[in-house]
Amino acid sequence: RRTVRAYTRGDLRERLHAYHGDNLDGAFRGWSETWLNPAFAAWNLYPELPRIRVPLLAIQGQEDEFATPAQLETIAREVGGPCQTVLLDHCRHFPQNQARPRVLALIVEFLATLPH
């Protein structure tokens, strides 16, 4: 609800435009209406995690305002295949943009561990 207020009354809409472009209003409305729907409160993907059996690299920013390290811990614990998680220091919600060189290096390192 605070985020919706920041979007409608503050500068959040302007800041998000760089990431979502012309579809910003539709993307934000879809995201916020989903998260605020009472039926969504109990929904999660945890039951599906054991079905992921391929090698997985999960990267998240330490300062991600939309996630917690517990999410990475749950992924690592629950997936059905090998999993590597990385929590990047000095990074927020978009590691692929905010820490691009480090993310690309992590992907290269990860891919090198896979069987050919």
pLDDT digits (tens, 9 = 90+) for 12-28: 999 888 888 888 999 99
Residue 104: C-alpha distances to residues 16, 26, 108 (Å): 24, 30, 6
Domain ranges of the chain: 2-40, 46-112
For residue 32 the two structure tokens come to: 């916020």
Q: DSSP states of the chain as a string?
A: -HHHHHHHHSSHHHHHHHHHGGGHHHHHHHHHHHHH-GGGTT--SGGGGGG--S-EEEEEETT-TT--HHHHHHHHHH-SS-EEEEEETT--S-HHHHTHHHHHHHHHHHHHTS--
The radius of gyration computed from the CA coordinates of the chain, to the nearest angstrom, equals 17
Find residue 84's DSSP bridge partners: 57
**Closest CA relative to residue 102, chosen from 57, 67, 69:** 57
pLDDT of residue 110: 98
Is the pLDDT at 116 greater than 90? The verdict is no
Residue-wise pLDDT for 44-55, tens only, equals 899 999 999 999
Residue 88 has φ and ψ, to the nearest 5°, of -85, 125
